[in-house]
Structure 1
Amino acid sequence: MRAFVLHGPGRGGVERVPVPVAEPGQVVVDVDRVGVCGTDVEFFTGEMAYLRDGHAAYPMRLGHEWCGVVSEVGAGVDTGWLGRRVTGDTMLGCGHCHRCRSGRQHVCERRYEIGIRGGRPGALAERLAVPATALHALPDAIGAVAGAMVEPGGNALRAVEAAALEPGMRAVVWGPGAIGLLAARFAAAHGVEVHVVGPSPESLEHARALGVDRAWTIDDLPRLPYDAMIDATNDRSVPAAALDLVEPGRRVVYIGLSSRPSTIDTRILVLKDVTAVGILSASPGLAGAIEHYASGLVDPEPLVAATVGLAGTGDVLAGRRPPGAGPGPKIHVDPRR
């Protein structure tokens, strides 16, 4: 089958690779759509930390935001999965440790991450093998575009839930990328007044084109009481700025990662009685994201600017937007093209 294989920083292309087989407990999915995200870009540039600490190595197959149709089931798997439209969890725990047994498989020390960690092949291919336990069925109301947005949606929803927001509260989402704009949509859907902050006026053009009225740079952000801050950036200065601006007794949620260490002054954290929360992975938020999409409460499709074929993956990873792309921050790949 065809797959996009990355051999090193800036070096990758479409190759023929063996077709996966559904081993016991697994299914094979015919992939419909794959999202390209910042983590994929970091592998393409060679900046991803997992490459330095031994959790990942080239060559590798990227792709952890995906949806498709189950075409094969292995031994011990319910045949009812055959023909069903699905997406799935990226984080595959060992299933035996204390963390996995307590429902925290996404932080299992021995976990695999599809298309990211441990050599587990990703979805930038015509087919993908995945454990049946990781599957989430997609209702008919969720098409291919939204289906491949469930994984980033789960991350964004978890960040909003961690912020403990209620209708009428006011929040700042730092970062006008896919996670930030999804978080803004989830929060707004529940009656929260949302402000989005970007590093420059140009970075906010997509957000404004997608209907974000309260989009600012840090210099323009109104000095108002903010009940929550959600950092969805890779800017090492944002964690401290968010802590400075949040209301005492409220919450700061960190979901973005800088390539260099970012620091906060814990004296401010204590003296303001602020709760700081870190979010890793969409795992506990996948079902909720599906529910929000299926109900129409949140529509992720406008965030997808374009869909390219598998051969266009390298250009997308290199930061080149396809001709005619819309205003959204996300680019999708259709591996069948």
Structure 2
Amino acid sequence: MNDGTMRAFVLTGPGKAGVEEVPAPVAVPGEVVVDVERIGVCGTDVEFFTGEMAYLHQGHASYPTRIGHEWAGTVSAVGDGVDPSWLGRRVTGDTMLGDRTCRRCRRGHQHVCEQRQEVGIRGGRPGALAEQIAVPAWSLHALPDPVDAVLGALVEPGGNALRAAQAAGAGPGDRALVLGPGTIGLLVALFLRAAGAEVHLLGRSDESLAFARGLGFRHTWTADTLPDTPFDAVVDASNAAHLPALALDLVEPAGRVVYIGLAGSRSTIDTRTLALKDVTAVGVLSGSPGLDATIGAYAAGTVDPRPLVAATVGLEQVAAVLAGERPEGAAGGPKIHVDPRLP
């Protein structure tokens, strides 16, 4: 950062991106500036890179845009009206920024506010793939000492996964199936295991299933090998359009189905099956209501998602990662992290 500027990753169009010098953020009233230490690359970021992201076509986002919403860092400046004790504190932040005045926000559902901004995603709020980010102080979540920058940047996806695991309602004596062993699916599996459930994973590639087994999940299957066994809960954490219906078919009567994955095209379920099996179906959009509990689980060590991070790169390598390239020397995990301090 020099002379009021900083380095940031900027998307100017589908497949068009690079690192630019941009104005550094200023802590306006009610907001803070954070020195970013770690950012996770997410499937949503890939959709912005390819141009497939729905918000681009719905008017909620446009190019040029600055992405990145899974982050951790240290507060370096505070605006007027912000408690100065935030200075120097290690934090992560909520992605969903409601207007805080509408009915949904007043009822505690600011993550589905109609007028919400989403950090690095919606409403022109710049994301964290940069040396600094500015966010409202009310959106901050402090990170205790055991939760380092790696874990801090895994809080946002972890909050989504925790909510999905809680919605599944599976514990000791229950058998749960997770569809899709990507970052969210594996995080869901980790939280379900911590809750005492017997966890099964359904995937497509030998590599992803082998990685899951390396995390201690013995019950890993493909569509061809999935056993005919009762599942009390099924979580769809995939992006496959046919799996929401399969989840409903596989779950036990009176069981629970959780939908957290999003397909690129419309998926369908037969509500007759839903009703006749007396199944509870839950959709999960955001990690917002689960962030504090996720931080607590990471701090206590009941869930350790560190192995999911395969590599950490600098800002200059982000475009290649978004284009699907695997960093040299990457381990087997599904998540790539970015440290904007790297050259």
TM-score bucket of the superposed structures, by smaller chain: over 0.9
Equivalent residue letter for 2:74: V
- Point out the more displaced range, 195-204 or 298-307: 195-204
Alignment match of 1:247 (pick from 221, 233, 252): 252
TM-aligned CA deviation for residue 66 of structure 1: 0.1
Equivalent residue letter for 2:313: V
TM-aligned CA deviation for residue 167 of structure 1: 1.4
Mapped to 2, the partners of 1:208 and 1:177 lie a distance apart of 13
Equivalent residues of 1:305, 1:329 under 8 A apart: yes
Equivalent residue letter for 1:62: I
Question: Do structure 1's residue 78 and structure 2's residue 83 form an aligned pair?
Answer: yes
Equivalent residue letter for 1:214: H
Question: Do structure 1's residue 163 and structure 2's residue 168 form an aligned pair?
Answer: yes
Mapped to 2, the partners of 1:127 and 1:111 lie a distance apart of 21
SS at match of 1:29: strand
Alignment match of 1:192 (pick from 188, 193, 197): 197
Alignment match of 1:65 (pick from 65, 70, 79): 70
TM-aligned CA deviation for residue 164 of structure 1: 1.3
Give the total of aligned pairs.
337
Number of the residue aligned with 1:225 = 230
1:30-41 alignment runs, 5 A limit: 30-41=35-46
Number of the residue aligned with 2:131 = 126
Question: Do structure 1's residue 88 and structure 2's residue 93 form an aligned pair?
Answer: yes
Question: Do structure 1's residue 48 and structure 2's residue 73 form an aligned pair?
Answer: no
Equivalent residue letter for 1:224: T
Question: Do structure 1's residue 291 and structure 2's residue 296 form an aligned pair?
Answer: yes
Number of the residue aligned with 1:207 = 212
Number of the residue aligned with 1:258 = 263
SS at match of 2:199: strand
SS at match of 2:213: helix
Mapped to 2, the partners of 1:138 and 1:222 lie a distance apart of 41
SS at match of 1:17: strand
Equivalent residue letter for 2:161: A
Number of the residue aligned with 2:319 = 314
TM-aligned CA deviation for residue 213 of structure 1: 1.5
Alignment match of 1:145 (pick from 146, 150, 155): 150
Percent of pairs with identical residues: 69
Number of the residue aligned with 1:102 = 107
Question: Could you list the per-position Cα deviations for residues 200-244 of structure 1 after superposition, in whole angstroms to 9, with x for gaps in the alignment?
Answer: 334423323333221111221111110100000100000000100
Number of the residue aligned with 2:242 = 237
Number of the residue aligned with 2:275 = 270
Per the normalisation by structure 2, the TM-score is 0.97
- Point out the more displaced range, 203-212 or 248-257: 203-212
Equivalent residues of 1:210, 1:328 under 8 A apart: no
Cα RMSD for the two superposed structures: 0.8
SS at match of 2:337: strand
Equivalent residue letter for 2:274: L
Equivalent residues of 1:243, 1:269 under 8 A apart: yes
Question: Could you list the per-position Cα deviations for residues 27-71 of structure 1 after superposition, in whole angstroms to 9, with x for gaps in the alignment?
Answer: 000000000010000111111111111111110001000000000
Per the normalisation by structure 1, the TM-score is 0.99
Equivalent residue letter for 2:67: L
TM-aligned CA deviation for residue 259 of structure 1: 0.6
Equivalent residues of 1:209, 1:327 under 8 A apart: no
Mapped to 2, the partners of 1:213 and 1:304 lie a distance apart of 21
Mapped to 2, the partners of 1:40 and 1:199 lie a distance apart of 22
Question: Could you list the per-position Cα deviations for residues 166-188 of structure 1 after superposition, in whole angstroms to 9, with x for gaps in the alignment?
Answer: 21210000111000000000000
TM-aligned CA deviation for residue 250 of structure 1: 0.9
TM-aligned CA deviation for residue 199 of structure 1: 2.2
TM-aligned CA deviation for residue 145 of structure 1: 0.6
Equivalent residues of 1:162, 1:277 under 8 A apart: yes
SS at match of 2:23: coil
SS at match of 1:228: strand
